[in-house]
Amino acid sequence: MKILISDKLANEGIDILKAVKEFKVDCKYDLSAEELKTSIKKYDALIVRSATKVSADVINAADNLKFIGRAGVGLDNVDLKAATQKGIVVMNTPAGNTTSTAEHTFSMILALARNVPQAYASMRAGKWDRNKFSGVELYGKTLGIVGFGRIGSTVAKFAKSFGMNVVVFDPYLSLEVTQQRGVDMIPLEDVLKKADFITFHIPKTDETSNLISEKEFGLMKKSVRLINCARGGIIDENALATALEKGQIGGCALDVFEKEPLPKDSPLLKFDNCVMTPHLGASTSEAQINVAIEIAETMRDALLGRGIINAANFPSVDAEAYQALEPYINLALRLGKFAGQLIGERRMNEVKITYSGVINNYKVAPVTLSLVNGLLKPILGESVNYINALDLAKERAINIQEVKSNKEEEFVNCINVEIKTDKEPFRIWGTLSSNKKPRVVKINNVYVEAVPEGNILFINNSDKPGLVGAIGTILAKDNINIAAISLGREAQDGVAISVVNVDNEVPSATLEKLRKTKDILYIKLLKV
């Protein structure tokens, strides 16, 4: 079996692969896109870091490729959809740079608190301005952590050793877990109001893009200091520049940016209290070795048939069973995404998945993985996949129950999902149409016939005449075409559900018009 490594990888990882007699390992760095397309044809596996762009063109040119391994967390440089369509498993290394990124985060906290970069620059200029660079202590201060996965929880340990108070916002983490780890779980708004330092450890998704903008800066202390070593685009950089200009916040430390490299005309460059580094979170020799070893061992085991871990697009299942389960895996993923976006900030405690019909003739574990993957993806983004979804749910003390029912149910060949939260529960039913396409057939107590695909407007509305016409008129005026619409109600003149599939994204201005429409009680744009 032939393996191509197209980005520089630590020797410790290369040696693991070369030690396997069945493997032929080639290291070819700095290949152009055309050179990679030509070279990839003969390889069974490809290992990259961030430099190589594994585009759809490259994937489609691969005749034998079975696995793509990314030595790192992000998969921005791999066309996941193209790989999935061609049956290529894409794997990454979610754990290898945890310590490195957590340490860099805390380095940024310390540098920001004590004005280290500014003082250094002043001394290099021949000055001795002791009073100008007076800082603040960390002891007794409150650190707010947004996202409490591996990196966030490691940062919390560091902070507690400095005598800091730690508050956490993570809607997918249970109160039980945070209590065990000695931190307080509070709403995001309270984190923004109470914290002296706020650090972000979440992926960039539709839900988290520009999570912190003008409104959020208005809630913060004027002395607050923000740290982002996660992903660019979580903090609205224009709003951040305005907040710094107006003195709304005490400062910020950024390792990641919406555009990288950071444009030379970025307004952030003019502020002394904006500490910046060029995406160095994982740039330690130890982290490079860790991710190299992790991806090498993962690739070795996958190629030798010992199992697949950290796969972003494929559950572990044999080919024959997968052919039968594939429509249900797709259905489960879409049900999960649908439900995950509607749950919002409700904290999940338990997810009970009941299977009925012919699906019970197979091991349903891959379907469960797919559903949990979809359920967590709106908030965790690319860090959750088919393989690690259950582990991430377990870390957050979300109990996943898998039930096979032999009872005669309302729907044949059905997946029924019951989600218990810290507020009201949520329930959704899904099945397959005659052509094996996914359908949502019931939401809580309301029957619908909805297609969980693409851009969807989910609406709770009063059951009054004329609403469908009002929705259609607003969308038509903004040149948004309705692809399908499903209506359902629990009782006449009560609260109803409208599920509207549209052909393109709905701008926020259009959503606001709909939100203000008479008899619309709630509206959310879903992307499934």
Tens digits of per-residue pLDDT, 213-254? 999 999 999 999 999 999 999 999 999 999 999 999 999 999
Average pLDDT over residues 28-44: 95
Q: Is the pLDDT of residue 154 over 90?
A: yes
Four-residue CA torsion sign, 266, 269, 275, 276:
positive
At residue 147 the predicted structure's pLDDT band, cuts being 50, 70 and 90, is: very high
Going across the sheet that includes 348-356, the strands are 399-405, 348-356, 414-421, 426-432, 438-443, 446-450
CA dist., res. 419 & res. 400, Å (int): 9
Per-residue confidence (pLDDT) for residue 240, from 0 to 100: 98
Q: How far from each other are the two terminal CA atoms of the chain, in whole angstroms?
A: 37
Q: Is the pLDDT of residue 57 over 60?
A: yes
The predicted pLDDT at position 314 comes to 73
Q: Which amino acid is at 112?
A: L
Worst-scoring range by mean pLDDT, 161-170, 179-188, 277-286, 287-296? 179-188
Burial of 515 (0-12, 13-18, 19+ CB in 10 A): middle
Q: Which two tokens stand for residue 349?
A: 């405690």
How does the average pLDDT of the chain come out, rounded?
A: 92
What one-character DSSP code corresponds to residue 267? G
Residue 411 or 8, more confident: 8
Q: Could you count the other beta carbons within 10 Å of the beta carbon of residue 336?
A: 31
pTM of the predicted protein model: 0.71
> How far is residue 257 CA from its own chain's centroid?
17
Q: What is the mean pLDDT of residues 139-162?
A: 96
Known catalytic residues?
231, 260, 279
Instruction: For residue 112, give the nearest of 264, 251, 316, 224 by alpha carbon.
Output: 251
The region of weakest confidence among 160-164, 174-178, 329-333, 524-528 is 174-178
Tell me which DSSP letter residue 304 carries. T
Q: Who's near 295: CB < 8 A, 6+ residues apart? A: 9, 13, 47, 69, 70, 71, 91, 92, 93, 96
Query: 301: how many CB neighbours lie within 10 A of its CB?
Result: 13
Per-residue pLDDT tens for 290-346? Answer: 999 999 999 999 899 877 788 888 765 555 677 788 899 999 999 999 999 999 778
Q: Domains for the chain: give ranges and CATH numbers.
A: 1-94+283-314 (3.40.50.720), 98-276 (3.40.50.720), 315-440 (3.30.1330.90), 445-528 (3.30.70.260)
Contacts of residues 206-209 at CB distance under 8 Å and 24 or more positions apart, as own/partner, are 206/378, 206/527, 207/341, 207/378, 207/379, 208/234, 208/379, 208/381, 209/233, 209/234
pLDDT (tens digit, 9 = 90+) per residue, 205-214?
Answer: 888 999 999 9
pLDDT at 316: 57
Q: What is the pLDDT of residues 63-109, one digit of tens each?
A: 999 999 999 877 878 998 888 778 789 999 988 889 999 999 999 99
Average pLDDT on 25-53 reads 95
DSSP class per residue in 334-387: HHHHHHHHHHTTPPEEEEEEEEESGGGGS--HHHHHHHHHHHHHHHHGGG--TT
The torsion defined by the Cα of 316, 320, 324 and 328, in degrees rounded to 10, comes to: 10
Mean per-residue pLDDT for 499-521?
93
Confidence of residue 406 (pLDDT cuts 50, 70, 90): confident
